[in-house]
Chains A and B, each alone.
Chain A
Amino acid sequence: SRDERVKGPGRGCLLKEIHLNVTDLGLGYSTKEELLFRYCSGPCYDSETNYDKILNNLTHNKKLDKDTPSRTCCRPIAFDDDISFLDDSLEYHTLKKHSAKKCACV
């Protein structure tokens, strides 16, 4: 399946992971628990269409005044399972949709 992914469009857009403390997430929880955070990153040039090329040209030629429309980017299309942890005051919290499971250029 790995080969398939590399062959298809958006092959630069990959799922990466990093080991973090829950406190590193910056959500305000105080706890000593840790987690594996997965995220999507990589270029999406190969999945661009004429639409993207036109937008690129218009932006470059300053035809679109102030507007800078979004271009194709590497985003999660599915999320990991929820995680639960106990904080320092012994209360449980559950994080939903916090970590990527599958990535794609969208």
Chain B
Amino acid sequence: VRGSLGLYFPQSEYSESIYVGQQQGTPVLQIHSMLETPAEKPYFSLCWKNPQRPPAYASWFHMDETSGILLMNKTLEWSDFSSLYTSSTVSLKKLALKVTASSMPVKRTMCNLQRKVEVSLTFINATAPPCGQVKPEKLCFPDKDSNPHIRENRMPGALRQLRRFTRMNVCPNYTISYGVKADSPVPFAVDGSTSELVVTAPVDREEKEVYQLLIVCTIQTEEMVDTLFNPLHVNIYDEDDNPPYLNGTDTEEVIIEFNRSEGTICGSLSVYDRDTTPVYPSDQSQNKFVGTLLNNDSWIKTTFTIEPKFREEKAVFGNVRGTVHDYKLKLIQNVSVTETRSFQLDYLVNDTTFPGPEGTVLLHFNVTILPVPIRFTNITFVFGLSRKSTTYAQIGKVCVDNCLMFKGIDVEYQLEIADKNISSDAQSCYTAVSISQSQNEMSGVLYVNDTEALLRAECQELQYVVTAQEQQHQLQTRTQLLIIFQGEADPMSGEEQKVLACAERRQQGDCESSRGLGAPTGRCQWRQGSDKGISEKYSTCSPDLRTCPDGYCDAIESKDISICPQDCTSHPIIGGHERGLFGIKAGYGTCYCFVEKCFCEKDETEEPFLCNDTCKTVIAAG
């Protein structure tokens, strides 16, 4: 059974002007109500906000119960205008009326419960202009037009009176007739005897949403024929008359492996419906879908959910608006690494307002959960690093198999001395290296912790065991790690207790000859920026150009602000720049930092020629 909506108004408001001298018994305008069944018959009546105390002008008008024509109940006089109370003294006054239509006569006192349409009459403090002063378009068409609408799948019938009753009387010698023009055949016509615009057949919104008509008005007098055109758009309102359907598959294969974190979307299926779904008002139920998870398993219910979302689409429905419902399978808790299962998850989608048995669609997600082994593929990690490297220099990364793809799996890394039976002197070498947890991937970052050990010859080859431990089940795995420090040690590193930050250096020569925190080669590195404006590739001095400045404050850099303030500063930056969440996203010229305070500026002068000791000797000798 189709949802019975009964009578409805194809227009939300009516307006017209009335003048002094308007005769009793003359029509003002005509209200229309569309029908649901041929047996229905609308009864029109005027309705007041407070039916017990209607406004003074209520008695001026009469509503013809069967035709919907509003008539004057008295001839309007000058005194009528002045009798209306309004604060302003303008020569126009608005009279608001409400009209109801129902399938049986309604008591006036009960009319507020009925569907109503607003009628706005403008009372002009003048007599109607004579025929010769009225423009033809004013005779034919309303001053202010609103587009009518009709519902799809409904009875044909009249929807609008095209004649302007109040103006016709001014020119009694004119014959005015109307017609409909359109590019292609349309189910609209004009009833010649009543001048009503009529819909001649039920319409389908899924075929056409808007009918663009041209109303033709012909004014005929003894001397001339005048033809005028006015566009009119008739909107077609939707109802739920299409069942949901699938476009291809009803089954999605889902494999859950490395990404097991809460909130992960692991599969998606779409259901289509040619009907529109209103989003406002939100309590409206038209074409709203209700979904039900059919599995009873409590683990499945606490681990998975279906996230429904709908959107309007036009292209997939042949350029007529329709609805696409997306059903996304989402994890609502982390899945443990040991979990291994496969099952079918069934989801029933019900288009609740669709009349008929085929309003449901069944969706299937074939879910396979694979276990994730926590292990190192059987190799020994070997890293080499210069003995000149400074504290916080990054050595490399260790990672259990596939750790870069892990989400929702927590792994922690630890370093141990491989051979515990060595002398305490030899053991002190092992303070040279530390491991830190990378924040955005499940890897461990190795870095130089203590440079004093690097000076000692016996500390050049360090053998560690790396332990990786999965946090939920305490699953452990270990592997060998060999770190070799190569080359000569920097004799300076022992004496110079405090290593400055590379970021303080403003010039290439000064930068490249300095030691700084976090430098794997022991020397700071210079990045020469492009010269144009504020650039992400600004000139700067950094301990390691692979990690700083890369716009990301990593696990090691966040240990000490002096390592890479360019990526990590949270203080204001002076000069032309663009901020990132932390640090400098883009800067002008050269960016340098003292502790946390960073400056970006263009070096106007060329880099001064640095006269070092060799140079001085040459000059002295010359």
Contacts and interface: CB of A to CB of B under 8 A. Distances in A.
Interface stretch (A12-20, A23-31, A72-80): A23-31
Contacts of B588: 27-29
**Which of B572, B576, B602 has the most A CB atoms < 10 Å from its CB?**
B576
Main secondary structure of the interface of B (DSSP, over half): strand
Contacts of A53: none
A26 B578 contact: no
A28 B533 contact: yes
Interface string B374-389: 0000000000000000
A28 B602 contact: yes
Of the listed residues B578, B589, B600, the one surrounded by the most CB atoms of chain A closer than 10 A to its CB is B578
A27 B588 CA distance: 7
Interface in A72-93: 91, 93
Chain B interface residue bracket vs A: 10 to 19
B534 interface: yes
Contact of B534 (A26, A28, A96): A28
B578 A27 contact: no
A30 B533 contact: yes
B187 interface: no
B572 A27 contact: no
A29 B578 CA distance: 10
A29 B589 CA distance: 11
B356 interface: no
A29 B576 contact: yes
Contact of B589 (A28, A30, A93): A28
Interface in B561-579: 572, 575-576, 578
Contacts of B576: 27-29
Among A27, A30, A93: residue with most chain B CB under 10 A: A27
Contact of A91 (B572, B575, B578, B600): B578
B600 to A, nearest CB: 8
A29 B572 contact: no
A26 B576 CA distance: 8
B142 to A, nearest CB: 44
Interface on chain A toward B: helix, strand, loop, or mixed SS?
loop
A11 B600 CA distance: 34
Contacts of B602: 26, 28
Contacts of A30: 533
Contacts of A91: 578
Interface in B547-586: 572, 575-576, 578
Contacts of B534: 28-29
Contacts of A27: 575-576, 588, 601
A96 B575 CA distance: 10
A93 B534 CA distance: 12
Contacts of A93: 578
B578 A96 contact: no
Nearest to B534: A28
A30 B535 CA distance: 12
Interface string A56-81: 00000000000000000000000000
Interface in B524-559: 533-534
A27 B601 CA distance: 7
A104 to B, nearest CB: 22
A29 B535 CA distance: 10
A65 B194 CA distance: 111
A35 to B, nearest CB: 14
A96 B572 contact: yes
A29 B602 CA distance: 12
A91 B586 CA distance: 13
Interface in A30-45: 30
Nearest to A98: B574
Contacts of A26: 602
A96 B588 CA distance: 16
Contacts of A29: 533-534, 576, 588
B591 to A, nearest CB: 11
Nearest to B587: A28
A30 B601 CA distance: 15
A27 B599 CA distance: 11
Contacts of A96: 572
Contacts of B575: 27-28
Contacts of B572: 96
Nearest to B589: A28
A30 B576 CA distance: 10
Nearest to B574: A97
A38 B601 CA distance: 21
A26 B604 CA distance: 10
A24 B601 CA distance: 14
By CB atoms of chain A within 10 A, which of B533, B572, B602 has the most? B533
Nearest to A88: B533
A26 B602 CA distance: 8
A36 B588 CA distance: 22
B276 to A, nearest CB: 35
A7 B503 CA distance: 47
A30 B533 CA distance: 7
A86 to B, nearest CB: 13
Interface string B245-267: 00000000000000000000000
A93 B572 CA distance: 13
A76 B307 CA distance: 59
Nearest to B538: A28
Contacts of B578: 91, 93
Nearest to A93: B578
Given A26-B602, A28-B575, A29-B588, 8 more contacts: A27-B575, A28-B533, A28-B534, A28-B576, A28-B588, A28-B589, A91-B578, A96-B572
Identify the 10 closest CB pairs spanning chains A and B, nearest first.
Answer: A28-B588, A27-B576, A28-B576, A28-B534, A28-B533, A29-B576, A30-B533, A27-B575, A27-B588, A96-B572
19 contacts: A26-B602, A27-B575, A27-B576, A27-B588, A27-B601, A28-B533, A28-B534, A28-B575, A28-B576, A28-B588, A28-B589, A28-B600, A29-B533, A29-B534, A29-B576, A30-B533, A91-B578, A93-B578, A96-B572
